[in-house]
Amino acid sequence: MDVTLHLAQDPEADELLGRSPLAALVGMLLDQQVPMEWAFKGPRTIADRVGADDLDAHDIAAQDPEAFSALLSEKPAVHRYPGSMAKRIQQLCQYLVEHYDGDAELVWKGVDDGRELLRRLEELPGFGKQKAQIFLALLGKQLGVRPTGWQEAAGAYGEAESFRSVADITGPESLAKVRAHKQEMKAAAKAAKAARK
């Protein structure tokens, strides 16, 4: 894996995401209840704070939970909820150590069926179906991981230029399109909720 992603809209953070499978997974994990750029800047911030060039699943899994939580809580915090996210990141890393010898890329490397890859992603701690489908779409659209049936397994996120998620962000213009789509979805959900009352 060595591509340029534009998810954090920060050159150093995006460089790490493009070369580090674990950083990409951690960024995806962090992508909830905060702006996308903040979430995907998180892996670079964590790496900087541990004094490393990359994230290491074995190292993170073995960290003292309170110390790791404190690391994520330093200003600026890695996430709006640094304590709970520290726990989730450690759970993800512990799972990767247990099932993939700490190598995040083995989650998808050599998998030749999109449904199997989706299943593997859904098994990751912190990854529900939607998050797994978005990450599968990101793998297919930007990281060249395209097992047979990946687009179908990714659902609507796998559609070309759908601008529904981070999978379609390649720069500021596409980021604006994804933001607009998310605002439309929120407005539609709010209207539907109001109609039910």
List, for residues 45-101, the tens digit of each pLDDT value: 999 999 999 999 999 999 999 999 999 999 999 999 999 999 999 999 999 999 999
Residue 116's nearest CA partner among 97, 103, 132 is 132
Q: Where are the alpha helices (H) located in 50-171, listed in sequence order? A: 57-62, 65-73, 82-100, 114-123, 129-142, 150-153
Weakest-pLDDT range from 6-15, 20-29, 79-88: 6-15
Provide the percentage of residues in the chain whose pLDDT is more than 70: 99
List, for residues 122-176, the tens digit of each pLDDT value: 999 999 999 999 999 999 999 999 999 999 999 999 998 888 888 888 888 888 8
Name the CATH topology of 11-161: Endonuclease III; domain 1 (1.10.340)
Residue 42's nearest CA partner among 57, 58, 24, 20 is 24
Residue scoring higher pLDDT (191 or 30): 30
Instruction: Give the residue-averaged pLDDT of 112-118.
Output: 96
| CA separation for the pair 81, 76 (Å, rounded) | 12
| The pLDDT value given to residue 119 | 97
| CA separation for the pair 144, 140 (Å, rounded) | 5
Domain edges within the chain: 11-161
